[in-house]
Amino acid sequence: MSIPTLHIILFASLASLASLLVSTGRADQSREEVALFIFGDSINDAGTNNYINTTADFRANFPPYGKTFFHNPTGRFSDGRLIADFITEFAKLPLIPPYLQMKDGEFMAGTNFASGGAGALVTLTKDLYVVDFKMQLKQLKQLRKKLRKKEGKDQANRIIKEGVYLISIGSNDYLMPLVYNPALFQSISMEDYVGMVIGNITTVLKGMYKVGGRKFAMMGIGPLGCVPGMRLLTRNGSCSGAANKLTRLHGFKYSYFDFYASGSEKIRHPSKYGFKEVENACCGSGPYRASPTSGGKRGVKEYSLCRHPEKFLFFDTYHPSERANKQSAQLMWNGSLSVIRPRNLEALFKYEHV
């Protein structure tokens, strides 16, 4: 399928921006001196939505979430740790708290702005009462102001400039129309819609750059059509072609981590990665355990929970298990150019701008 020239320009613009962010410097920065700033959606939400007035559909602060590692719910949409949590571990940093959890003047090696349900298109998520991508940029600006007050302008600017910006965004922009409003693509082409998403992401990235960010780690969109929630919408339980078509169209080959390729590999060869189940979720109800009823707090009290989450690729309807998150984080940290480019996160943390 052809992609309009305008969108090719948008893709190229995103790639050029990514190139700019890591184009000059030297690779001798000490990891311990580098902060981690986390943005995006439920893939990396460490509890942001615990502090906002949203519904249980966009919260994970109740059992069985958190059962594997924390042994209690923290607001993370998984049975245990998230990709961002493992990245902090590899970088020898403490767990990064949500921005809304931090007290005035508090700063511990970074901040997590990610919010479950967030998207790049503000109009898509405005009624969900979550912290959208644009609002997360505003929170970054607020943090810079607080850091300057606490640390002084020069030190605050150094923290912001040398920090690594981990971003996972876009999944909700594609999932929500397909699940709740499939007729949307009768009035707008997938290419045009993708162009809108990319345009908004690019605008926020440029805003982060203007604030002082220079080292970005972009996570591409995973194989959304193969999550249990999308299998339920197909007649035979196969991967949803429409969802996967969307995630491949937008050109996230320019993104830093190829989440699509990594996830698809696990689905094709589950035993190679220690999984026994890649179609059904560990927790939920109905076929594929695809109904988002985990915890019984989302309108339906009954749900099923597997005994061994580590054998499942997906913990709930849309989110990976801790085991899957760890494997993704390992690829991001020291993986090859086949899944992460032009450098892995271990190198990016050491990369110093001059």
For the segment 84-142, what is each residue's pLDDT rounded down to a tens digit? Answer: 999 999 999 999 999 999 987 678 799 999 999 999 998 777 777 899 999 999 999 99
At 259, list the tokens. Answer: 């989440």
What residue type is 97 in one-letter code?
P
Residue 242 has pLDDT above 80, yes or no: no
Residue 249: the pLDDT is 38
pLDDT tier at 325 (50, 70, 90 boundaries)? Answer: very high
Cα 321 from Cα 300, distance rounded (Å): 22
Query: Which region among 123-137, 154-168, 254-268, 269-283 has the lowest average model confidence (pLDDT)?
Result: 254-268
What does the domain layout of the chain look like in residue ranges?
5-350
Cα angle for residues 334, 198, 18 (degrees, 5° grid): 40
Query: Which of the residues are catalytic?
Result: 42, 316, 319
- Residue 337 CA to residue 342 CA, distance in Å, equals 7
Q: Three-state DSSP class for 159?
A: helix
Is the Cβ–Cβ distance between 191 and 208 less than 8 Å?
Answer: no
352 — pLDDT class (breaks 50, 70, 90): low
CATH number assigned to the domain covering 5-350: 3.40.50
In angstroms, rounded to a whole number, what is the distance separating the alpha carbons of residues 201 and 63? 33
Lowest-pLDDT choice from 177-186, 243-252, 295-304, 335-344: 243-252
